[in-house]
Amino acid sequence: MARKKIVAGNWKMNMTPSQAVELVNTLKPLVVSDDVEVVYCVPAIDIVPVVEAVKGSNVTVGAENMYFEDKGAYTGEISAEMLVDAGVKYVIIGHSERRDYFKEDDALLNKKVKKALEAGLVPILCCGESLEQREMGVTLDWIRLQIKSDLQGVSASQVAGMVIAYEPIWAIGTGKTATTEQAQEVCKAIRDTIAEIYDASTADAVRIQYGGSVNAANANELFSQPDIDGGLVGGASLKADFGKIVNYK
Ligand code: 13P
């Protein structure tokens, strides 16, 4: 079965609740597509108004983070159940900004992936190498290690429904996109890793996005690669250009 493309905006720490609603309304006519699933991953405080604002459109809503515990004394955190109850479908887990600035490691991310799945959320699990790692020639080893660690104890059927985002750290917010060949090579390596840990049909089903300076000019070439099933888009998801990325063909 052909995998449906998925283009997700990662708004990061941008947009107040009122700006968020305005952006959703501006983008509404521009992101209509039958072929591409469209997701807005928004700051926690924007979730409720954005879920309301996308009603009746083809857009679904994601969170940018969550905690793995069910409830309790974890000041400032948000649970999977809270997200589900608010109407969230996706959750970004392990973005490089969280791994770096908030010291989230693979053991923690594995717990988050499992909790998200248990709650019925679809994790968008991020992985990616630093420039130093790429220059040392360890990119594929590093990505395999991240994927294997983050998916410990996750079943084949759960992985089949997940999204994995390959985001080379050196390409995020830098305007420096990975070449199509680099992006395809790593996305294929991720799929091969899933085939190795699980089986060919799981690898065939899992959707793998590329992220890192995706824009209206490079989306078509990137998303046309055999192992790239769409994109995780930062800066360009906050502008009308996002419509062109969704309708990349
Ligand atoms: P940019 O598209 O701004 O490079 O960000 C990519 C990203 O981090 C998406 O998660």
Residues of the chain with pLDDT > 70: what percent? 100
Q: Are 84 and 121 in contact (CB under 8 A)?
A: yes
Q: What is the pLDDT of residue 201?
A: 98
Q: How confident is the model at residue 2 (pLDDT cuts 50, 70, 90)?
A: confident
**Residue 85 burial by CB count (10 A; 0-12/13-18/19+): exposed, middle or buried?**
exposed
Enter the DSSP assignment of 230: E
Counting from 1 in the atom list of ligand 1, the atom nearest the Cα of 213 is 4
pLDDT greater than 70 at residue 1: no
What mean pLDDT comes out for the span 129-158?
97
Q: Where are the alpha helices (DSSP H) in the chain?
A: 17-27, 47-53, 80-85, 96-101, 106-119, 131-136, 139-150, 156-160, 180-197, 200-205, 219-223, 241-246
Q: What is the pLDDT of residue 175?
A: 85
Q: Are 141 and 185 in contact (CB under 8 A)?
A: no
What mean pLDDT comes out for the span 208-232?
98
What mean pLDDT comes out for the span 15-26?
98
Between CA 47 and CA 83 the distance in angstroms is 8
| Residues contacting residue 179 through CB under 8 Å, at least 6 positions apart | none
Q: What is the pLDDT of residue 176?
A: 85
Length of the chain: 249
**Does residue 173 or residue 73 have the better pLDDT?**
73
Pocket test for ligand 1, best of 41, 98, 167 (most atoms within 8 A of CB): 167
What mean pLDDT comes out for the span 24-40?
98
Between CA 86 and CA 51 the distance in angstroms is 8
Q: Are 21 and 50 in contact (CB under 8 A)?
A: yes
Pocket test for ligand 1, best of 41, 91, 174, 214 (most atoms within 8 A of CB): 214
pLDDT greater than 80 at residue 19: yes
- Ligand 1: list residues with CB < 6 Å: 10, 95, 167, 172-173, 211-214, 232-236
**Amino acid in position 204:** D
Q: How confident is the model at residue 181 (pLDDT cuts 50, 70, 90)?
A: very high
